[in-house]
Structure 1
Amino acid sequence: MKRIFIGLVALFIVVLGINSSSFKTIKTAFAPSITGTVAGEATEQKEITVILDFGEGKAETYSAKNAATVLEALEQTAKDNNIPLFLKEFSFGTLVETIGSKTNDKEKAWVYYVNGQTAEVGADQFEVNTGDIIEWKYEKIN
C-alpha cells in the first residue's frame, strides 16, 4: 500500500513538472499590466490632415488623430463627420468605392495622395506619420 502511495505521489510530481510551463503561461497571460504616463509627461498624439476633394471645386479639410494607416484616417474622418463611405475587400487589399455621394465608375475614381505624392501601396497598407496630409481626390482615370 505504501509503495502505491509513493508511486502515485511520484507520478503526480512528474505530471505537475511537465505541465508547469503551461501553468506559468496561463499565469502571465492573465497577469495585470500597468500602463499609463508619469505625471507631467505628455503623450504624443498622431495628428493627420485629411482632405476630401469631390471635384468641381468642392474640397473639405478634416483632422484625424492616431490613425495608423491612410485607410484608418479616412474611416475615422468619415465616422466622425457622418460621411458615407463604402469599401470593398479584395485579396490584395481594400478599395475605396464611395466617399460621400461620389462613387467610382468607368471615368472617375477615388485616388489618394500623401504629402502631394501618389502611393505605391493600398490605403490599408500605407502607414501615416504625424503631420502627414492625405488627399483623397475624385478624379479622371486613364
Structure 2
Amino acid sequence: MTTRAFLTRALALPTAAVLAAGLFAGCSGNDAAADEPATSPSATATAAALTVATDGTEASYQGVAGKTALELLLQLDPTATADGEGANAFVTSIGGRKADQSKNEFWAFYVNGKQAQVGAGSYTMTDGDEITWKLETF
C-alpha cells in the first residue's frame, strides 16, 4: 500500500465526525478573545511563527482564522513542500526535513493535540488553534 493510499484511508471518516469536531472546537468557552480587537487574517498571519524542534521531527504554529493549515504552513515555511494541491495535498517536508518514504515516514497533522480527521488543505483554522506536525512512521 502506498503512503498516499494509507493516509487517504486513515483520514476517511464520516462527515458527521468532522462536523462534530468543528462544533467542539467552536465551543471553547474562551471569552477573552471577544475582548480583543478584531484583526484581519492577513494581519494575524504575519505575527504567526513556525517553531521547529531541534531534531526536525516536529513543527508547530498558532492557527489564523480563515486560512487553511496547509496555506499557513507554506506561508510560514517557504522550504516546506507538498505533493498535490488544496484538499488533496500531502505534506512531504517541513523545515528542510523530508519524510523518508523508504523508512515509511510521513508528516502527521494535529489540531489542538489531536490527530486531524481531514487534510491540512481542507482544515480551515480558527484563531488560537495549535497546529502541530509530527514526523511519524506507519
Q: TM-score, normalised by structure 2?
A: 0.54
- CA deviation after TM superposition for structure 1 residue 122, in Å: 0.8
The answer to whether structure 1 residue 100 and structure 2 residue 99 are counterparts is: no
Contact 1:53 1:136 in 2 (8 A): no
Deviations 1:83-128 (A, max 9, x none): x111111696001111123112233211110100111111000111
**Structure-1 separation of matches of 2:99 and 2:59:** 19
- Structure 1 runs of 4+ aligned residues shifted over 6 Å read none
Contact 1:49 1:131 in 2 (8 A): no
The residue number in structure 2 matching 1:31 is: none
One-letter amino acid of the counterpart of residue 80, structure 2: L
Structure with a larger share of its residues in helix: 2
**Structure-2 separation of matches of 1:97 and 1:57:** 13
Please provide the CA RMSD for this pair. 3.1
Contact 1:51 1:133 in 2 (8 A): no
**Structure-1 separation of matches of 2:117 and 2:74:** 20
- Structure 1: tracts of 5 or more residues without a match: 1-41
Structure with a larger share of its residues in strand: 1
Identical aligned residues as a percent? 27
Q: Which has the larger radius of gyration?
A: 1
Aligned length: 95
